[in-house]
Structure 1
């Protein structure tokens, strides 16, 4: 029987991360990272299971070449840490889950051998001794939480030794005892500084040389962090923003700079992008921008939260509309400004009722 490849990327620090952080946001962060790893599968590995914080891939009857295997490992590490960089740079949420997500790490276990299968509820799944061995290799004695591990069986098949060194990999030989049996493997710690992370700019911070056309302030009997969650978590929007038929968004994504959502009003889709602007360091801010409001060219809307006590805060809402033509400016100041004020005050009052009822 031909050798098969088992490949397990595992997110390090998952248990501590979930236990010590806000559960909903931590789940979203882990889900995003698992999706990133799945998309980074460039070698057509088959996904057998999502195992909480890990992915179980395999390639039946085939073992990748040394070059392709190491390239696949590097691609996954690069994608993983590039996404953590995005989470760090574009974060607007102050919660522990979002703040500590950049501390997560990755380990990848690769093993090979003769693979068997079992069928459960019509689904064919990998089974047998090498599956057990691959998962046991996750429970090794390596002190690092950021590494690539190749079993001795696999290293022999692809012809890689403990003397292999490159810009990213520096393998050493180790072994652990499982069920009174020695299992040997090669191990290389991965330094993320050696990865070519995706470079990007953050074009979502905006600056204004004018005052907002509208500013409304309101006090709330809730902490600034909790109020920010009610504002930025779009699953709450229908409770306090009225007149919108539907909110379309990614429910598995934590809102951050650059994320998008859609408000559907009378069949018209208003597309919003999350943005920010500079505020004092002790304040929280969330902003959104759209170019889909009729008559005017665009609108920036900012929610700034100022802590007044442990369980209260002040919300400052500002509107910065964009109107290029004289006609649009006239319509904005004579008609739309009044309409905006009425609609926003109603929404903020609804938000107060919803928060108090929670």
Structure 2
């Protein structure tokens, strides 16, 4: 959205972030809203894979609803700035142990895995929309066969990126389209 009209970009991103936060059926906590990204987290037991897959579906549907809305209410700017997948949604699913601290009256997440999740947004996947599942998350799944039923495993692709201080990080991803 950096090459769009700033007023239009602000409108789209504001509507989008509100819709994505409202699509939070897993009752995750919003850790941060930074630029055009929402960082959710959840403490406790790992949700069942069918619930995680459903959450991803809700987020993707909310994203598409916003795009469709702007196609209808502002077709000129839609055609100019949104019609060619200029805006995407990237869903990162990771399992980690985090530390939570109160800093200057704000709740903040601390730890290497928090940094890793931020770095994972800057990966080599050249798609506008996808779900990225870290190996850390996939290894925690108790029933791997159930996972295959809920995520579109036939479209699952492997990827890896090298990040400073982390080395090579492996993941799987599913294109959304």
How high is the TM-score relative to the length of structure 1?
A: 0.44
State whether residues 50 and 150 of structure 2, in contact with CA within 8 Å, keep that contact through their aligned partners in structure 1: no
Match in the other structure for 2:38: 55
Question: Is the 1:151–1:184 contact (alpha carbons within 8 Å) kept by the matching residues of 2?
Answer: yes
Structure 1 residue ranges without an equivalent (≥5): 1-16, 192-358
Q: What RMSD over aligned residues (CA atoms) do the two structures have, in Å?
A: 2.2
Measure how far apart 1:97 and its partner are: 6.6
Matched residues in 1 for 2:13 and 2:158: separation? Answer: 31
Q: Which has the higher helix share?
A: 2
Sort the Cα spacing of 1:160 and 1:52 in 2 relative to 1 into closer, same or farther, 3 A: farther
The answer (yes or no) to whether the contact 2:94–2:117 under 8 Å persists in 1 is yes
Q: Which has the higher contact order (CA 8 A, sep 6+)?
A: 2
The CA deviation at 1:144 is 1.4
Match of 2:162 among 177, 183, 194: 177
Once superposed, which parts of structure 1, at least 4 consecutive aligned residues long, lie more than 4 Å away? Answer: 165-169
User: Which has a greater percent of strand?
Assistant: 1
Shift of 1:99: 3.8
- What is the number of residues matched between the two proteins? 171
Gaps of 5+ in 2: none
Answer yes or no: is 1:118 the counterpart of 2:101: yes
Q: What pairs with 1:1-358 in structure 2 (closer than 5 Å)?
A: 17-18=1-2, 20-91=3-74, 94=76, 96=77, 99-102=80-83, 103=85, 104-158=87-141, 159-160=143-144, 164=148, 168=152, 170-179=155-164, 181-191=167-177
Larger Rg: 1
Pair 1:66–1:89, CA change in 2 (3 A) = same
TM-fit CA distance, 1:90: 2.6
Contact kept? 2:70, 2:78, Cα under 8 Å: no
